[in-house]
C-alpha cells in the first residue's frame, strides 16, 4: 500500500480539483483554486515530473476584437454597405457614378475596393464596378455572414478561430484589419492525473503545514512536529539583482557640481527661457550676428518678449558699448542698438547667461560661480549633435586673475574628472580675449579631444556690468564628457532610456 501523499495547503487545493475531474484546462484550474497561475503551473509541473499528472499543450488562435468592432459590424462594414447599394442596381455601375454614390454614403472608396476585393464581393473593371455572385449571395438575406458574426463572439467570452464555421474565411476577413480585430496565438494547457496520480488521490492526501523557517513559538509549543520545512534547490538560478544606478549623464553632472563646489565655487541658476539681452547683448554679441538667426536659435512665440533689466543705466551702458564702445576704449560695433531685439525671448543658447547675470549682480571681487543646465541650439540631430544638451559655465572675478589662473583652474577640474593630461590651444570667441580651447588626452583612443572654450571677458562685457577687474570664463559640454567616460559613439544613446543598457553600466567608472 502506497503511503499517503503529504502536501501543503496550496498543493492540496490543486490536487483536490484534479481528483474531481478527468481533465481540466489550466486557466479553469487557476480560477477554481484561487491561486496565481505561476503557482498552480509549478504544482502541476511538479506532479508531472513525478509521473502523477500529464500536461497537454495545444496552440490555438484567439480572435481579439478591437474596441468598437461589434458596433462597426452591426452598422455594416464598408464592403457590405457598398455591396447592398450595388445589389440595388441592375448591372455594372460607371466608376464616376459609383464614386459619387460612395461619397454620399460616407464610405471611403479605397476601403470599399480593398475589402470588397479581399472578400470577392466587388469587382472593378474598366471604368465600371459590379457586384460578384458571392457578393450578391452575401447580402441577399440581409443577415451577417459567419465571418462577421465571429467578431461578435467576444461578448459571450473568448472565441477561438478553430471554433468558427469557416476559419480561413475569418482569417481572410481580419488579415491586416487591426481596426476590427487581431488574431493572437495562445497556448492552451490541459492537466489530468495519470493512473498513479488517481491511485494516490484515492489512497488519501495528508495536508501538512509548510514553512520557510520555524519560530521560537513553534519550538516551545511543539508545533514544529506538524510543520514541514520547505525544500530549497540551491542549484536553481537565482533572480538577478540589479544594483541601483543613476543615469550616466546625471552622474557626470553631479561629479561636475561636486568638483566645482570642492574648489570653492558657488552654484547659480537662470531661467531656460531667457531674454536676448542676457543671452547675447550683455556678452557684446552684435544684434546682426549669425548665431542670433532663427536657424541657430530657438525664439519663443509665447511669450515672445521679456522685460529689459530694471536698471536703466545698465541697459544704456550696454547700448552705448554696442554702438560706439562706451567708456571701454573700444569702437563698438558701429550700429544703432535696438531694444526690441534685446527683448526677444529665446531658449537659452548657453549657461553663460546665468554667469553673466551673476556678474551683473555681484561685480566686485572676489567671486567664483558656476552653472550647470540645459541649453538649446537649432541644430539637426546626428551622432554628435542634439538640439538640446547640457553645459557647465563658470566665472572667476579676481583683481589678480590672469590667463595662468584660468588654465590652472580648468586643468584642476579635468584632473578631478579623471583626465591627467590637459592642454590648451588658441581660439576665438566674440566675448573673450584672449580665448583658448580646452583639450584632454584620451588614453583609450590615443588622441586629444576638444572639450570646450574659455577665456577672459573683454572689457566690453565686464565694464557695462560695473566690473573693472579681470573675469575668467568658460563653457564646457557635459554630453561629450559622458560619451568619453562611457565609451559611446552616438550622443543619442545618452537619452534612449533603455533599462537593460543602464544595468550594464559599471558602478565605478
Coil, strand or helix at 504:
coil
Q: Give residue 58's pLDDT.
A: 85
The domains of the chain, with CATH numbers, are 1-60+177-241 (1.10.10.10), 69-176 (1.10.10), 249-502 (3.30.930.10)
Output DSSP code: residue 282.
G
Interatomic CA distance for residues 477 and 104, integer angstroms: 61
Q: Give residue 137's pLDDT.
A: 82
Confidence of residue 146 (pLDDT cuts 50, 70, 90): low
pTM for the structure as a whole: 0.54
Q: Give residue 508's pLDDT.
A: 60
**Which residues, including other chains, have CB under 8 Å from residue 225's CB and lie 6 or more apart?**
none
Interatomic CA distance for residues 275 and 320, integer angstroms: 19
Encode 71-106 in three state secondary structure.
Answer: HHHHHCCHHHHHHHHHHCCCCCEEHHHHHHHHHHHC
Per residue in 48-83, pLDDT (tens digit) is 888 888 888 888 887 777 777 777 777 778 888 888
Greater model confidence, 131 or 211: 131
Q: Give residue 399's pLDDT.
A: 92
Per the CB < 8 A criterion, the answer to whether 321 and 431 are in contact is no
Regarding beta strands 367-376 and 388-397, do their DSSP bridges make them parallel or antiparallel, or are they unpaired? antiparallel
What integer is the mean pLDDT of 240-246? 80
Confidence of residue 317 (pLDDT cuts 50, 70, 90): very high
Q: Give residue 149's pLDDT.
A: 65
Interatomic CA distance for residues 218 and 210, integer angstroms: 12
Per residue in 164-222, pLDDT (tens digit) is 766 777 777 777 677 777 778 888 888 898 888 888 888 777 777 777 788 898 889 88
Q: Give residue 240's pLDDT.
A: 82
What integer is the mean pLDDT of 29-47? 86
Q: Give residue 166's pLDDT.
A: 67
Interatomic CA distance for residues 29 and 115, integer angstroms: 41
Per the CB < 8 A criterion, the answer to whether 134 and 121 are in contact is yes
Measuring CA to CA, how many Å separate 331 from each of 318, 337, 458, 462, 470?
13, 14, 13, 16, 20
| Category of 233 on φ-ψ map: left (φ > 0), alpha (ψ -120 to 50) or beta | beta
C-alpha cell at 478: 557635459
If you search the block for the grid coordinates 575668467, which residue do you land on?
A: 472
**What is the rounded average pLDDT for all residues in the chain?**
84
If you search the block for the grid coordinates 570653492, which residue do you land on?
A: 264
Greater model confidence, 106 or 460: 460
- Mark out the alpha helices in 263-311 (DSSP H runs): 276-279
Regarding beta strands 128-131 and 209-211, do their DSSP bridges make them parallel or antiparallel, or are they unpaired? unpaired
Query: What are the backbone dihedrals phi and psi of residue 445, each rounded to the nearest 5 degrees, phi first?
Result: -105, -10
What integer is the mean pLDDT of 278-288? 92
What integer is the mean pLDDT of 342-358? 93
HSE-up of 448 (CA within 13 Å, CB side)?
Answer: 11
Nearest to 354 by CA among 470, 473, 459, 205: 473
Q: Give residue 245's pLDDT.
A: 78
If you search the block for the grid coordinates 577665456, which residue do you land on?
A: 455
Amino acid at each position: 500500500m502506497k503511503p499517503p501523499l503529504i502536501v501543503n495547503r496550496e498543493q492540496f487545493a490543486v490536487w483536490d480539483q484534479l481528483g474531481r475531474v478527468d481533465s481540466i484546462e489550466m486557466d479553469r484550474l487557476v480560477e477554481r483554486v484561487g491561486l496565481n497561475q505561476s503557482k498552480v503551473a509549478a504544482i502541476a509541473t511538479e506532479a508531472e515530473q513525478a509521473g502523477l499528472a500529464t500536461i497537454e499543450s495545444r496552440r490555438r488562435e484567439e480572435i481579439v476584437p478591437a474596441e468598437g468592432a461589434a458596433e462597426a459590424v452591426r452598422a455594416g462594414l464598408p464592403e457590405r454597405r457598398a455591396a447592398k447599394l450595388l445589389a440595388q442596381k441592375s448591372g455594372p455601375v460607371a466608376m464616376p457614378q459609383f464614386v459619387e454614390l460612395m461619397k454620399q454614403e460616407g464610405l471611403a472608396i479605397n476601403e470599399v475596393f480593398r475589402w470588397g476585393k479581399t472578400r470577392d464581393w466587388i469587382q472593378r473593371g474598366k471604368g465600371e464596378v459590379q457586384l460578384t455572385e458571392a457578393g450578391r449571395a452575401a447580402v441577399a438575406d440581409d443577415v451577417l455572414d459567419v465571418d462577421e458574426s465571429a467578431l461578435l463572439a467576444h461578448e459571450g467570452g473568448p472565441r477561438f478561430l478553430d471554433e468558427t464555421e469557416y476559419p480561413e474565411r475569418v482569417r481572410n476577413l481580419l488579415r491586416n484589419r487591426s481596426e476590427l480585430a487581431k488574431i493572437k496565438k495562445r497556448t492552451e494547457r490541459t492537466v489530468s492525473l495519470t493512473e498513479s496520480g488517481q491511485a494516490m488521490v484515492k489512497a488519501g492526501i495528508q495536508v501538512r503545514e509548510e514553512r520557510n523557517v520555524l519560530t521560537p513559538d513553534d519550538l516551545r509549543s511543539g508545533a514544529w512536529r506538524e510543520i514541514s520545512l520547505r525544500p530549497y534547490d540551491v542549484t536553481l538560478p537565482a533572480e538577478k539583482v540589479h544594483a541601483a544606478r543613476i543615469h550616466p549623464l546625471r552622474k557626470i553632472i553631479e561629479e561636475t557640481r561636486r568638483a566645482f563646489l570642492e574648489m570653492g565655487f558657488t552654484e547659480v541658476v537662470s531661467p531656460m527661457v531667457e531674454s536676448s539681452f542676457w543671452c547675447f547683448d550683455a556678452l557684446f554679441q552684435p544684434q546682426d550676428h549669425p548665431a542670433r538667426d532663427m536657424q541657430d536659435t530657438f525664439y519663443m512665440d509665447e511669450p515672445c518678449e521679456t522685460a529689459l533689466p530694471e536698471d536703466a543705466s545698465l541697459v544704456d551702458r550696454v547700448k552705448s558699448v554696442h554702438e560706439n564702445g562706451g567708456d571701454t576704449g573700444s569702437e563698438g560695433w558701429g550700429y544703432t542698438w535696438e531694444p526690441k531685439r534685446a527683448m526677444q525671448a529665446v531658449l537659452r543658447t548657453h549657461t553663460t547667461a546665468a554667469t553673466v547675470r551673476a556678474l551683473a549682480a555681484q561685480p566686485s571681487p572676489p567671486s567664483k560661480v558656476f552653472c550647470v543646465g540645459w541649453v538649446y541650439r537649432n541644430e539637426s540631430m546626428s551622432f554628435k549633435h542634439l538640439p538640446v544638451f547640457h553645459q557647465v559655465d563658470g566665472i572667476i572675478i579676481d583683481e589678480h586673475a590672469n590667463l595662468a589662473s584660468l588654465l590652472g583652474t580648468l586643468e584642476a577640474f579635468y584632473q578631478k574628472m579623471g583626465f591627467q593630461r590637459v592642454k590648451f590651444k588658441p581660439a576665438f570667441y566674440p566675448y573673450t580675449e584672449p580665448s583658448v580651447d580646452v583639450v584632454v588626452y584620451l588614453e583609450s583612443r590615443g588622441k586629444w579631444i576638444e572639450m570646450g572654450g574659455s577665456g577672459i571677458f573683454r572689457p566690453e562685457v565686464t565694464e557695462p556690468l560695473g566690473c573693472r577687474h579681470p573675469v575668467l570664463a568658460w563653457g564646457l559640454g557635459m554630453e561629450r564628457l559622458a560619451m568619453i567616460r562611457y565609451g559611446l559613439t552616438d550622443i543619442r544613446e545618452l537619452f534612449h532610456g533603455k533599462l537593460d543598457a543602464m544595468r550594464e553600466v559599471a558602478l565605478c567608472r
